Structures are given as C-alpha cells and as structure tokens.
Amino acid sequence: MAGDPSAVDVTCNKTSFSYSSLLGVQWGLRGAPHSSLRLAGGVGGPMQLHRSHVPLGPAAEGSGLLGRAVCALLLATLGSVAGLPLGGEPSCTAQHLARYSITFTGKWSQTAFPKQYPLFRPPAQWSTLLGATHSSDYSMWKKNEYVSNGLRDFAERGEAWALMEEIEAAGEKIQSVHGVFSAPAIPTGTGQTSAELEVHARHSLVSFVVRIVPSPDWFVGVDSLDLCEGDHWKDQVSVDLFPYDAGTDSGFTFSSPNFATIPQDTVTEITSSFPSHPANSFYYPRLKSLPPMARVSLVRLRHSTRAFVPPTPDLVSRGNEILNILSAPETPLDCEVSLWSPWGLCGGHCGTLGSKSRTRYIRVQPANDGIPCPELEEKADCIPDNCV
Ligand SMILES: [Ca+2]
C-alpha cells in the first residue's frame, strides 16, 4: 500500500509495522476525538490498525499513551500468531482459522423499556463494541466475578484504552488472545452495528462488551461464546443480550450521578426484579423477565477474499430484524404516584360541615396499557377550623 497517504508506521519493541487505511472501524472514545484509531479485521491475517485523525508523526514510536496502545493491539494480535498458545481448547479440531461477521442489534426501545427511558442529554444509545477472540485462559468479564480496572473504565465511561492494554497483556504473557475487534457506537437504542472477526482452533472463544449509555456501570455482552463445535465451526450463532451491572458504581437509574461502589461488587445480571427497588430503571415487578435489550448474531464467512469487501447487509439478520420489529414487546408500565400530602385546612362556615383536601402527584406516567393513575386529589368532610 505504498503511497497511501493515510498509512502509518509504528515501532513496537524495535519492530516496525506499516499499516494503511482500509474502510475500518473507528474507536469511538468519548471525549477524546484527537485520539481515535481505526482498526479493521485484516484478510487472512492479524488485525490491522489504521490511523484516523491521529496526530502521529510519520513514524510513531511505541511510547506515549497512543503509541503504547497501538503497540498493545499489535502485540496482542501478533503475539498469538508468532507463538503457540500455552492453554487452548483441545476439543476443537476444526480447521485452524475461521472468519465471522458479528452484528449487534439494539432493542432498547421506549416501548420495550418505558421506565425512565433516556430521551435527552444523552438519549438512549450504545457505546463502541469492543471484543476479543481468545482461549479459555483469558476472560474479559464473568458473571459473579470482579471486573478488571479496564472493564470498569469501559462500563462506567466508555474508555477503552485500559481494557485494550489488559487484552494486550494477556496476548503477550500467556498468548491467550488471538485478536481484537470493534464495531462503531450506535447513536440510538435500536440501531445496528457490525464488524468482522477471526477465530483460531486454539482461540475459538468470543467475548465482547457494549456499554449502555447513559448508565452508571451497565453493559451488555457475551462471555466466552465458543464458535467451534468439535471438528467444525458453527455456521451461525445468535444470542439475546440482557443488562449486567459491573459492580463499580452504585447508581440506580440510567442518569444517576457518579457514585462509586466501595468495596467493589461482582458482576450481576440486572433483571425485572433485581435489584429489588422501585427506583431502579429496570424494575418491572409485573414482568417475569425483561425483554432482550439487544441481540448479537455471528455468521461464518465462507469465502476468504483477497481484497477488502465492504460489509453488506446480512439478509438473515435483516429478516430477523423485520420480525423483531413486528414482535417488539410492549412492556406495560404501571402508574406510580407519590404518598398523599398532609390534609389541608378545613374550609367552610362555622356551624356547617366543611371540607378539606389532600393531593398526590404522578411519579411514573403509565405506558403500554399499564395500570392508569388513580385520583390525585381526595376531599373529606370536616369541622371548619377557627370556630370559636
Ligand atoms: Ca452498579
């Protein structure tokens, strides 16, 4: 790719790499537009990194935050190619490499999740999807275990650098990571994003995370999904995704202010009844389970192309998507009202019955045929005050 004006050379551990710009996937790092990187799945090889509005010189050294992060990704992906993994999945006897497209579909609609649905500053949306293909020696996150510092930064603020460095460390030290992949953020609760990834017979597991925005420390994702099945690669896998709490911030609602959980808690699944508190944004006591918040589909790519092919709409998942829209769940949201105010003064003429009133207000407007709101004002007879 000589002459590509967007090519960038990177030196990591005295080894030089040159990368050029293909249509890639951009790191959407919140609040850091100057440090965005492009990266895309290479064809038949390790992950490729691409520069995008990055103030790197012609030869960026492997020092400084950005340089280190670039090297982190390079080493994470190249390390597993250069050496044999120590652990591995001896049960997978499929051919060495397989490529997949991964499509993430948000289902976070106001109809499905009417309670406290974020409409402004920011409206409901999804962060960049960040994932890795790996062996069982690596774990990006696990239910009932503590998240790493990198995943905490990602779950709370959408910052990916520390998590990428952790993935790099795993790739370098125990060679448990084959590659890193990412897909662009989705600016709405119901959009779609996709990427490509490569798995290896000894690194047949896929994990990824997507932050729920806005939220205290909530995310959806997949932990160690195995794409290998004995002697072959699975053709297609789809998984419904439900929200998880990273256990690092104690906020109860989508827009709760930052409030660290000390000591840190483990990763828990958020359900319609847990945490069991009416203030929680996912608390729907009438539901047995929450509707899926998102869905991910992985489809094996059969043809190993030599040239980069732009992603085409996946007909299978598009068909699913139409079905999904038709069958989008309408989650009933019951009206919630405040406690009654104290009774007001008793008005009326002395010697006759007077009247007093008290009021309450609506905390949650009902939606989707939920229980309507009761009367907000109540009157009662009384003996007028101030009668001598
Ligand atoms: Ca939390």
End residue of a domain, out of 308, 326, 344? 326
In a domain, 228, yes or no: yes
Indicate if 273 and 348 belong to the same structural domain: no
Indicate if 189 and 93 belong to the same structural domain: yes
In a domain, 38, yes or no: no
Indicate if 278 and 341 belong to the same structural domain: no
Helices (H), 20-125: 64-82
Residues of the domain holding 296: 88-326
In a domain, 151, yes or no: yes
φ, ψ of residue 28 to 5 degrees: the values are -100, 80
Indicate if 206 and 303 belong to the same structural domain: yes
In a domain, 363, yes or no: yes
Strand pairing partners for 194? 103
Q: If you measure from the C-alpha of residue 197 to the centroid of ligand 1, how many angstroms do you get, rounded to a whole number?
A: 30
Which amino acid appears at position 212 of this protein?
I
The CATH code of the domain that includes 156 is 2.60.40.2130
Q: If you measure from the C-alpha of residue 215 to the centroid of ligand 1, how many angstroms do you get, rounded to a whole number?
A: 9
In a domain, 387, yes or no: no
Q: If you measure from the C-alpha of residue 275 to the centroid of ligand 1, how many angstroms do you get, rounded to a whole number?
A: 10
Mean pLDDT per 10-residue section of the chain, whose length is 388 residues: 41 36 28 32 33 32 47 46 43 93 97 95 95 96 97 96 94 91 96 96 97 98 97 96 97 92 96 92 93 97 61 50 63 91 89 92 89 94 78
Indicate if 241 and 275 belong to the same structural domain: yes
Closest Cα partner for 290 from 191, 211, 365, 220?
220
End residue of a domain, out of 326, 351, 370? 326
In a domain, 75, yes or no: no
Indicate if 231 and 364 belong to the same structural domain: no
Helices (H), the chain: 64-82, 149-157, 161-173, 315-326
- d(Cα 91, Cα 61) in Å, to the nearest integer? 40
The pLDDT value recorded for residue 329 is: 82
Q: If you measure from the C-alpha of residue 166 to the centroid of ligand 1, how many angstroms do you get, rounded to a whole number?
A: 22
Q: If you measure from the C-alpha of residue 264 to the centroid of ligand 1, how many angstroms do you get, rounded to a whole number?
A: 9
Indicate if 170 and 265 belong to the same structural domain: yes
Indicate if 265 and 363 belong to the same structural domain: no
Indicate if 258 and 361 belong to the same structural domain: no
Indicate if 208 and 290 belong to the same structural domain: yes
End residue of a domain, out of 283, 306, 326? 326
Q: If you measure from the C-alpha of residue 182 to the centroid of ligand 1, how many angstroms do you get, rounded to a whole number?
A: 24
The pLDDT value recorded for residue 322 is: 53
The CATH code of the domain that includes 366 is 2.20.100.10
Buried b / exposed e across 352-383, counting CB within 10 Å, b at 16+? eebebeeebeeebebbeebeebeeeeeeeebe
Q: If you measure from the C-alpha of residue 345 to the centroid of ligand 1, how many angstroms do you get, rounded to a whole number?
A: 44
Q: If you measure from the C-alpha of residue 36 to the centroid of ligand 1, how many angstroms do you get, rounded to a whole number?
A: 28
Indicate if 311 and 359 belong to the same structural domain: no
Indicate if 320 and 350 belong to the same structural domain: no
CA distances from 384 to 341, 349, 352, 357 (A): 19, 7, 8, 12
The pLDDT value recorded for residue 320 is: 53
Instruction: Give the number of other CB atoms < 10 A from CB of residue 242.
Output: 16
Total structural domains within the chain: 2
- d(Cα 100, Cα 102) in Å, to the nearest integer? 6
H or E stretch at 377 = strand 377-382
Q: If you measure from the C-alpha of residue 266 to the centroid of ligand 1, how many angstroms do you get, rounded to a whole number?
A: 9
In a domain, 61, yes or no: no
Q: If you measure from the C-alpha of residue 240 to the centroid of ligand 1, how many angstroms do you get, rounded to a whole number?
A: 21
Q: If you measure from the C-alpha of residue 267 to the centroid of ligand 1, how many angstroms do you get, rounded to a whole number?
A: 8
159, 209 Cβ separation under 8 angstroms: no
In a domain, 286, yes or no: yes
Q: If you measure from the C-alpha of residue 153 to the centroid of ligand 1, how many angstroms do you get, rounded to a whole number?
A: 13
Q: If you measure from the C-alpha of residue 126 to the centroid of ligand 1, how many angstroms do you get, rounded to a whole number?
A: 17
